[in-house]
Amino acid sequence: MTGAAIVRWEAGGTVVLAVHGAFDGASAWALRIEMEGSHAREFLVDLTHAVEACDFAAGVLASWARRWERLKRVRFRPGSAEHARILTGHGLEVVDGEEVPAPVLAGHLAGSPASGVSA
């Protein structure tokens, strides 16, 4: 079990998964399960609220990204230079300076609310 929470919302055809807490093996596994089970093809993992990042977590998601690369695309928004170093070291796609759209909590369409996924 980890102390991280993963908040999910959709923005412009991309599923945003924001990690709040530790980006560790448990949160990476939760992200993997969420992306695998989703019908979406585009994902953005937002680590701007992650308090730490683990090399193992990046390895778990790099393996997943290679396995699913024909069907799904995952990009990462690092919260620090250290996050970016770990992610790029595993060959993961990092977006720099891209604004992450905030979830729409009021007036959202049925079936696409922001939701939390605990890791």
**35 assigned to some structural domain:** yes
> What is the mean pLDDT of the segment spanning 78-95?
95
Average pLDDT over residues 33-56: 94
- The CATH number of residue 30's host domain is 3.30.750.24
Res 101: pLDDT: 62
Count how many domains the chain has. Answer: 1
Residue 103 forms part of a structural domain: no
Supply the range of the domain harboring residue 88.
5-97
Q: Which of 12-21, 41-50, 74-83, 103-112 has the lowest mean pLDDT?
A: 103-112
* 107 within a domain of the structure (yes/no): no
Residue 109 lies in a domain: no
In a domain, 84, yes or no: yes
Residue 51 predicted with pLDDT over 50: yes
Mean pLDDT, range 101-113, rounded to an integer: 48
Contact 108, 114 (CB under 8 A): yes
